[in-house]
Amino acid sequence: MTEIKLHNSRSRTKEVFTPLDPQNVRMYVCGPTVYDRAHLGNARPVVVFDVLYRLLRHVAKTNGWGKVTYARNFTDVDDKINARALASDRRIEEITAETTQWFLDDMAALGALEPDHMPRATAYIPQMITMIEGLIEGDHAYAAEGHVLFRVRSYKQYGGLSGRSVDDMIAGARVEVAPFKEDPMDFVLWKPSDATQPGWDSPWGYGRPGWHIECSAMSYEILGASFDIHGGGNDLMFPHHENEIAQSCCAHPEGEFAQVWMHNEMLQVEGKKMSKSLGNFFTVRDLLDQGIPGEVIRFVFLSTHYRKPMDWTAEKAAGAESKLDDYIKSVAQYGDLEAARSTAPMDEIVQALADDLNTHAALGRLDHLANHAMGTELAANLVFLGLFSFEELEARVAQLQSGKDGLAPLAERLGQVRAAAMASKDFSEVDRLKSALLEAGVEVRMSKEGVELVPGPNFDPSRLEGLS
């Protein structure tokens, strides 16, 4: 049995994870609002919970649990989307469909597996209406002027996740005061739409749902009234997650909603908060287009524990890139990719992840495998951590090999020139060849045994054309 420990935001301690139903381990993560490309910060929860999903799937096998069910939503009804449609004179459905596909492509480039369920909010409007009706029946919500509001004071445990009282929260929050609210803390479950806004018929008139009810309705439909893990960025803890808990527990008192709450810390850039005004705001696609591979972004993410602020720097990206290149060389030299497919992930790596996702420690073990020429194990663990797929590793190893084969005549010539230089003591030709190779992105290794030329990631064969 592998024991998994996870930090539960609600208890603020690491707890041993015990699935409610070992035959079906259930996890819900708040997904993106689809109106624009995902910025680098949006990718952090995706990568963090992808690592957890991979760990759970592995441990499910070794512990004899059943399946793992992972749901992550798309919020495709939101005022930011409406504003984008209006400004660009495009249809809402066009924008949300395009942005959803961008998100999936960009996250796949970071090695994130697709969740088992990816519900879109607009496909669950009837379920949201049913849930809101139930809340009204139970006196937890009231309709007023086309709105439906959740009565926060009706749920005694409100604030239990972040450990704050309602009065403290009112003092600190930017709550919207509206004449139709009984209490400023009450939040919107349903609001009226005009003809220019997306809307659906409901018992309270033509309107659209509030953001929080979406996650409560979709998680209930897909995972049930009680499930295991709920995740998201820590900026969502209040009010979004407090409101999800209030809605779900009041609408479904038979269940307990999520058992374990997990929150990732925020991402910063070069030590500063990422923001448009500071000019350090960029999307995942921007980085990919600059030639920074997805596995490099993922590696940088995994090097910081998810509950610590993570600082994205160009220096870290460069360091990750050269480390991953070394790993590929090690796999090519010492590994057997066929055998790697049936090699279990290293116990120390599983144990590190099982200790509240200690990804930093897990990466450290990759170094150990590389340093001990354990290429097959290294390959299996690179795949387990989602840094590469087996197909990607095969392609990278083949690329390295064909580069090496192509360089073989030059390696031989350099060997001869060097032998001649030893005799003549004139090394100018050796130096000329060496610097041309370095400039073309080839690493030159010379030893008593001979000359080895290793193409690097930026190897450009066209720069060697005049040489051979």
Cβ–Cβ under 8 Å, residues 257 and 249: yes
Q: Which of ligand AMP, Zn ion, none does residue 215 bind to, with CB < 5 to 8 Å depending on kind?
A: Zn ion
Q: Pick between residue 30 and residue 71 the one whose CB is nearest to Zn ion.
A: 30
Q: What DSSP string runs through 327-387?
A: HHHHHHHH--HHHHHTPPPPHHHHHHHHBT--HHHHHHHHHHHHHTT-HHHHHHHHHHTTS
218 contacts ligand AMP (rule: CB under 6 A): no
Residue 459 vs residues 3, 38, 364, 441: alpha-carbon distances, Å = 45, 31, 27, 4
Q: Which of Zn ion, ligand AMP, none does residue 294 bind to, with CB < 5 to 8 Å depending on kind?
A: none
- Pattern 250-279, ligand AMP, x by CB under 6 A: ----------------xx------x-----
Cβ–Cβ under 8 Å, residues 352 and 361: yes
Strand order in the sheet with 207-209: 141-144, 147-150, 187-192, 207-209
* Helices 40-63 & 294-302 angle (0-180, nearest 10): 70
Q: CA-to-CA distance for 124 and 106, rounded, in angstroms?
A: 25
Q: Which of ligand AMP, Zn ion, none does residue 266 bind to, with CB < 5 to 8 Å depending on kind?
A: ligand AMP
Q: Pick between residue 275 and residue 333 the one whose CB is nearest to ligand AMP.
A: 275
Task: Report the C-alpha dihedral over residues 66, 69, 70, 74, rounded to 10 degrees.
Answer: 170
Interface region with ligand AMP, contact rule CB under 6 A, candidates 41-49, 122-130, 332-340, 395-403: 41-49
Q: Pick between residue 247 and residue 268 the one whose CB is nearest to Zn ion.
A: 247
Q: Pick between residue 31 and residue 335 the one whose CB is nearest to ligand AMP.
A: 31
3-state SS record for 99-136: HHHHHHHHHHHCCCCCCCECCEHHHHHHHHHHHHHHHH
Interface region with Zn ion, contact rule CB under 5 A, candidates 24-32, 75-83, 364-372, 412-420: 24-32
| Residue nearest Zn ion (C-beta atom) | 215
Footprint (CB under 5 A) of Zn ion, residues 26-65: 30
118 contacts ligand AMP (rule: CB under 6 A): no
CB of 31 to ligand AMP, least distance (A): 7
421 contacts ligand AMP (rule: CB under 6 A): no
Footprint (CB under 5 A) of Zn ion, residues 179-218: 215
Q: Which residues bind ligand AMP (CB under 6 A)?
A: 30, 32-33, 41-42, 44-45, 232-233, 235-236, 266-267, 274
